Structure 1
Amino acid sequence: MATSDEIRNARRALGRRLAQLRKAAAYTQHGFAQLVQYGRSSVANTETGHQYPDRGFWARCDAVLQTGGALAAEYDRIAGMGRRRHRVTAMQEPGRMLRQATPIRTGTSTTESGNCDVLWEHENSIDARRLALKSGTDDDARLAYLEDEIRQAITDNERLTPTILTARLRPLRAYVDQLMWGRQHPPQRARLYTAAAHLSGLLGALALDLRAYRMAHAYAAEAFDLADAAQQPDVQAWARATQSLVAFYSGDYHDALAYAQDGLRRAGTSPHRIRLAVNGQARALAHLGDRYGVDRTVDGAFTMLSDYPVDSTVSASLTLGPYCQARTAANAATAYLALGRTSGVTDHLTTAITAFDAAGLAGPRALSRLDLATAHLHADNPDPERAATLAVEALTLTAEQRFESVHQRARQFLTAAQPFAHHPQLRHVADLLADRTQVGATAPSALPSPP
């Protein structure tokens, strides 16, 4: 049987082995910590033997370092040594184990129970449980911090570049994983799963902006699974809206429709109904050619919008509340244009552009301009020059940000502009889209896959 010193030495040796493999792979502690989604101090303390994390840490290290599972296997071997030592110790010292497990007698007093033979726990055990119960206040503080960060990230989406916001959110997602190993009270667990669902949904939307489609699908699916585990229908509806968004821009219109419809079934009276209807269902139906379905869904979305107080504030694209008038109008216009209908589209887009310009949101400003540009091409008296001007404005507005939605919409605009391809301004739009460096944008990049 291994001694406690031997087990301790084996753990330290495993930490040293990790350090050797990390250095051989040319990772700094900081860079490696980001890849395994742990803190740098955790990596440093593990390598020096001052910390011994769980198996999940070692499995992530194996994945990043491509060791074939060697580190996790050694962790399992050391864990087995510890379990065997614990069993042998328990068998060799039955008296001590029995004394620990046996409650104490209270003596001969019958004033509280009426029975002098009643066995009681030691009061220290009760005090320990009370202390554990009170420790939940720390978790409340952590959860409040997470929820504040999520609300701020939802606000910052479309204002910051996807790369910057992703770098801010991935450590928070790893932090949530660490908290999930704790022993929170049931309401806190629900809040924790809700926070995790919102973070995964945000990361899914950002992955979509960065054209990392597989990551986007994975994060969005995880968001729904977490919401489902939390048994929060409102969060499930929000996650389904995000899955519908990812499917839509992946070209999977049937999936986008299915996710939106399932979200509506779960939403009840949730404010997410508007987003699910007009952003999810209406746009997918339009691409599937269901004109009647689009009319019915758009009318329903505006009816639902009337259930909420009129607010001039522009809602976030991934809002936790209802869609605003501008977002509803903009999405309705997108759906109608996909059907080739321009009636009423200009009014919707004028409303949206005015609000988005005032809010300073580059992505929505660009998308609405591209839709309006397309409407000018489909008008009874087409105006390709005005259309091209709007398209150039759209690409210029998003020159510093990577929005896959904008680039897809720009390609759709150019497809609609084929009959006017000789127009110089339209050729300029094509050049800007083909070579985004002309407007200061960076080339598309994919998110690094987490272990």
Structure 2
Amino acid sequence: MAGNARQGEPRTMLECLLRQQPRTYEEIVREFDRLAKELGENVTLSTRHLRRLASGERTNTTPVMRRVLQSMFGKPLNELLAPWSGEVLLAAAEPTGLLLATGQPAADRELIEMAARRAKSFALAAGQTDLTSDVMEQVHADVQRLALDYPQRPLSELLPDLIGTQDTVFTLLEQQRRPAQARQLYFLAGVTGGLLAKASHDMADPHAALTQARTAYVCADNADHNGLRAWIRGLQSLVSYWAGRTRESVRYAQSGAEFAASNTASVWLPMNEARAWASLGNANAARAAIERAEAAWDSVQEDEVDELGGLCTFGRARQIYYAAEALSWLPSEVTAADDYARRAVDAYEDSSSPEWAFGDQAGSRSALAIARIQAGELEGAAEAVAPVLDLAPEQRINGIITCTQRVHLALRDSPLAEAGAGLQEQIEIFTRTPLKALPR
């Protein structure tokens, strides 16, 4: 058995599980290495490292090691390294290195997901020479699931799968493919690159975000897909806007317009432009862009990008939110900003809606708070932003942090500054722990 039962109580859940294994630490490490190769993960684990993890002496690992350990034991690493609670879980009777179903719903769901990942890994390997339609459908389904989940789930839950999916698509593209399959893979690589650009932005790393976006654009060129080109230009405009590079944001939005003949990016791009113009104080250009976006709906026809859903499509709710945020920059548009912001908050009330996104919901509430501050309504502003300030650190993405900081600045520059000191302090506490500051 790994470990020694005479050493006293297990110090961690991992140590408890290891002691139930009918193998030595060295054998378990070899099993880890074998499983890593099966999962396509480039990582090794030393016996010393495993002992230190089991004893609780070490708690930090790389993301790839965390993924393999979770697959091996059917539990997230934070649970494996938690102090042992006295609970005993049954290890597998066969020397597989995996746990049997425990009867605990959360753990069993993880086992089911692990089995699905293993099945997918096998299918991809089996189809290496000439990809079957089933393999292509699997990769497409993986990308679509990520696009759908991205606006609604914390990034920490999605990032391992997102990185793994991009690696899978890149690996498949590194081998010679039939032209039709290559174009589809380049399309999916462009989408995953765009999602990772958004992820990098959410982690407040605009350099990494734009690097991912440039690579995604190369993939869109190889796929020769105008809708994807337009969508990626929209992401580049978004990243630049939140990074404070507003004129660059305008240029990206205008550059993408030539490709946005039909899909919903033809609405998104002018709305990006509107926000950037408004932040520059150009009310006329901002209003003109909002009008162009509204007119674009008359010719919208959904394409392959829109059909992925989630982050890959631009709906009415997001348009209303973008208009609210754009107009909240302009003191001359207080009434219109308040109207749009109220409508946006209402649009994001239903969390079961396919359009619901926690980031856009927070942005809508922040825009409403700013409009109310400009109207002299401190209590209404505090009420609008209160749910945002209750968000968990895992949801405090870069855009949300920046939105709440704008509320803080609006208070500073208003006659409500002294009375709003308490709200400003709440915002300061909230922004001290953004997503980018969380340990990984």
Q: Same fold (TM over 0.5)?
A: yes
In structure 2, distance between residues paired with 1:140 and 1:287? 47
Question: 1:215 aligns to what?
Answer: 208
Alignment of 1:46-61 (within 5 A): none
Question: 1:39 aligns to what?
Answer: 40
**Counterpart contact for 2:257–2:269, Cα < 8 Å:** yes
In structure 2, distance between residues paired with 1:443 and 1:429? 21
Would the alpha carbon gap of residues 317 and 173 (structure 1) be closer, same or farther in structure 2, given more than 3 Å must change? same
Which of 356, 360, 363 is the equivalent residue of 2:348?
A: 356
Deviation at 1:233, TM superposition (A): 1.1
3-state DSSP class of the match of 2:147?
helix
Question: 1:338 aligns to what?
Answer: 329
Question: 1:390 aligns to what?
Answer: 384
Question: 2:3 aligns to what?
Answer: none
**Counterpart contact for 2:328–2:371, Cα < 8 Å:** yes
In structure 2, distance between residues paired with 1:223 and 1:241? 12
3-state DSSP class of the match of 1:420?
coil
Would the alpha carbon gap of residues 232 and 361 (structure 1) be closer, same or farther in structure 2, given more than 3 Å must change? closer
**Counterpart contact for 1:140–1:188, Cα < 8 Å:** no
Alignment of 1:322-337 (within 5 A): 323-337=314-328
Structure 2 residue 319 is the aligned partner of structure 1 residue 294: no
Deviation at 1:271, TM superposition (A): 2.3
Which ranges of structure 1 fall in alignment gaps of 5 or more residues?
A: 1-26, 45-63, 65-133
Question: 1:304 aligns to what?
Answer: 296
Question: 1:138 aligns to what?
Answer: 131
In structure 2, distance between residues paired with 1:29 and 1:252? 49
Alignment of 1:19-168 (within 5 A): 39-40=40-41, 138-168=131-161
**Counterpart contact for 1:210–1:446, Cα < 8 Å:** no
Would the alpha carbon gap of residues 443 and 183 (structure 1) be closer, same or farther in structure 2, given more than 3 Å must change? closer
State the superposition RMSD in angstroms. Answer: 3.4
Deviation at 1:318, TM superposition (A): 5.9
Deviation at 1:29, TM superposition (A): 10
Alignment of 1:247-326 (within 5 A): 247-278=240-271, 280-307=272-299, 319-321=311-313, 323-326=314-317
Percent same amino acid at aligned positions?
23
**Counterpart contact for 2:234–2:253, Cα < 8 Å:** yes
After superposition, give the CA deviation of every residue in 1:58-102 in whole Å (9 maximum; x if it has no partner): xxxxxx9xxxxxxxxxxxxxxxxxxxxxxxxxxxxxxxxxxxxxx
Would the alpha carbon gap of residues 350 and 28 (structure 1) be closer, same or farther in structure 2, given more than 3 Å must change? farther
Which amino acid counterpart does residue 316 of structure 2 have in structure 1? Q
In structure 2, distance between residues paired with 1:406 and 1:328? 17
Which amino acid counterpart does residue 372 of structure 1 have in structure 2? L
Deviation at 1:429, TM superposition (A): 3.3
**Aligned residue pairs: how many?**
321
Deviation at 1:30, TM superposition (A): 7.0
**Counterpart contact for 1:212–1:447, Cα < 8 Å:** no
After superposition, give the CA deviation of every residue in 1:355-384 in whole Å (9 maximum; x if it has no partner): 2111353222211111001001112xx111
Question: 1:70 aligns to what?
Answer: none
Deviation at 1:433, TM superposition (A): 3.1
Question: 2:428 aligns to what?
Answer: 434
After superposition, give the CA deviation of every residue in 1:254-275 in whole Å (9 maximum; x if it has no partner): 1111111111112122321111
Higher-Rg member (1/2) = 1
Structure 2 residue 233 is the aligned partner of structure 1 residue 232: no
Which ranges of structure 2 fall in alignment gaps of 5 or more residues?
A: 1-28, 45-63, 65-126
Question: 1:403 aligns to what?
Answer: 397
In structure 2, distance between residues paired with 1:209 and 1:446? 13
Which amino acid counterpart does residue 383 of structure 1 have in structure 2? E
Would the alpha carbon gap of residues 225 and 377 (structure 1) be closer, same or farther in structure 2, given more than 3 Å must change? same
Which of 171, 175, 187 is the equivalent residue of 2:164?
A: 171
> Given the two structures, how large is their TM-score scaled by the length of structure 1?
0.64
